[in-house]
Structure 1
Amino acid sequence: MRKFFISFLSLSLLLFGCSLNPSDQDSITQKEEGKKEKMETKQLVVQQVKKENAPPEIQKQVEQMMKQGGTHSLSSNNQIYVIIALGKRKSGGYRIQISKAEKKGDEATIYAEEIPPSPTDFVTQAITYPIEIFTIPKENIKKINIRIK
């Protein structure tokens, strides 16, 4: 009986001694909320750049991406250049439009949309390779996500 009582007492002390008291829990919650506040979303300014006005390394990347399509980002001159290529299209009139660009922490997300020609538009009946170059400010961005719909 005595061994049972000592075991029970030891187990109780172990369980209740290791739990957080309410004031510790409050300080942990405040720290987590502080981290969330620091990670608030900031809208980024996006500027479209003509190929001929882009730095040489960007122009070279555009040439490589034109036919295959895809996305790429490069840092140059305190700017991040974002290249979005749609690849082969059967006619002219396709556009790429940025709907939103935002920064959260050290990560930026660019939301782009492929705009097809309207059925009533007069467009070139030739194969085209739509591609656009955009810049966003560098602002300590380490990762870029590009979402195209």
Structure 2
Amino acid sequence: MKRFGIDINWQVIFCLLLSLAIVTGCTVQAAGPGTQERKDATVNFELLKAPYPAFVDDVAKSMKQKGGSKVIHKNGHTYVVIALGQRPSAGYSVIIDNVQHSDGKLVITYEEKKPQGMAASVITYPVTVVKMTKTDLPVKVKSKK
């Protein structure tokens, strides 16, 4: 179609705008300057944001497809990696609801946040990492559901 003497290809313009919408819809915004500190029931912890330390990143990548949780004790800290596994779109995330001592264990309760409204149709692998001072207590990770 010609408009104002310029040959306009609307399909190309539509594809560019769609690509721009998808790219800007898939950005991640950190909750603060790298980490978020919280204190629940005398348990101090941080939620780490990527990039993770190499040993944590290796574990997170190994859990990418299937999901689950893994506890790592290293350098005087305990790291708990929680992965949801493969999800069909953007907008999924792991929300830590509570970290507390209970019956001689450290219990981490999380919730799967699902996308609200429209979300980019890309496969994602939501993961979060909880970092705290090293503990010898058994760590139990459970979904809030």
**TM-score, normalization: structure 1?**
0.63
Whether the aligned pair in 2 keeps the contact of 1:69 and 1:86 (CA below 8 Å) is yes
Task: Give the alignment partner of residue 102 of structure 1, picking from 91, 100, 103.
Answer: 100
Distance in structure 2 (CA, Å) of the matches to 1:66 and 1:89: 10
Percent identical among aligned pairs is 25
**TM-score, normalization: structure 2?**
0.65
Q: Where do 1:106-117 residues align within 5 Å?
A: 106-117=104-115
Give, as a single letter, the amino acid of the residue that structure 2 aligns with 1:137: T
* TM superposition shift of 1:126: 1.1
Whether the aligned pair in 2 keeps the contact of 1:108 and 1:141 (CA below 8 Å) is no
The equivalent residue for 1:58 is: 56
**1:123 matches 2:116:** no
Pair 1:106–1:51, CA change in 2 (3 A): farther
Pair 1:53–1:70, CA change in 2 (3 A): closer
> For the pair shown, which has the larger CA radius of gyration, 1 or 2?
1
Q: Decide which structure has greater strand share.
A: 2
Which runs of structure 1 show a deviation greater than 4 angstroms over 4 or more consecutive aligned residues? none
The runs of 5 or more residues in structure 2 that have no matched partner are 1-39
Give, as a single letter, the amino acid of the residue that structure 2 aligns with 1:68: K
* TM superposition shift of 1:43: 3.2
Q: CA RMSD in A?
A: 1.9
**1:137 matches 2:133:** yes
